[in-house]
């Protein structure tokens, strides 16, 4: 029961449910949530369609890559939340003008 006596210190230790440290995967999961929230919030303002569509696209790519690398259920949970928010931001940004709307022609 040495694993039960071992204390974990760190910001994202609640994501390491298997007892091992996953700093890259945890960082990608949290970054995807932050990017997804930015895309979701900016999607509610039609004049910010460039921000919401590009940030949403980046969030969907990072979330998909994070799903391939994720190890624990906690990481996957955060990635799905971030992917959903980034997807909503991306699609609403596309509906309001798209990735290049008004900039290239």
Q: How many domains does the chain have?
A: 1
Residue 92 included in any domain: yes
Pairwise CA distance, residues 39 & 58, whole Å: 9
pLDDT tens-digit map of 17-41: 888 888 899 999 999 999 999 999 9
Helices (H) and strands (E) in the chain, counts: 4, 0
Pairwise CA distance, residues 47 & 22, whole Å: 38
pLDDT beyond 60 at 6: no
- Host domain of residue 86: 31-96
Residue 73 included in any domain: yes
Residue 22 included in any domain: no
Residue 53 included in any domain: yes
User: DSSP for 42-81?
Assistant: HTTSGGGHHHHHHHHHHHHHHHHHHHHH--SHHHHHHHHH
Q: pTM, whole model, 2 decimals?
A: 0.84
Confidence band, pLDDT 50/70/90 cuts, at residue 103: low
Residues 6+ apart with CB under 8 A from 13: none
pLDDT tens-digit map of 62-93: 999 999 999 999 999 999 999 999 999 999 99
Confidence band, pLDDT 50/70/90 cuts, at residue 12: low
* Rounded (10°) angle between helices 49-69 and 73-96: 150
pLDDT beyond 60 at 2: no
């Amino acid at each position: 029961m040495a694993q039960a006596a071992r204390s974990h210190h760190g910001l994202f230790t609640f994501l390491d449910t298997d007892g091992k440290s996953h700093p890259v995967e945890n960082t990608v999961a949290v970054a995807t949530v932050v990017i997804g929230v930015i895309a979701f919030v900016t999607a509610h303002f039609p004049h910010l369609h460039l921000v919401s569509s590009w940030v949403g696209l980046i969030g969907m790519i990072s979330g998909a890559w994070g799903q391939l690398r994720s190890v624990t259920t906690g990481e996957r949970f955060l990635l799905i939340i971030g992917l959903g928010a980034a997807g909503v931001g991306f699609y609403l940004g596309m509906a309001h003008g798209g990735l290049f709307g008004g900039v290239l022609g």
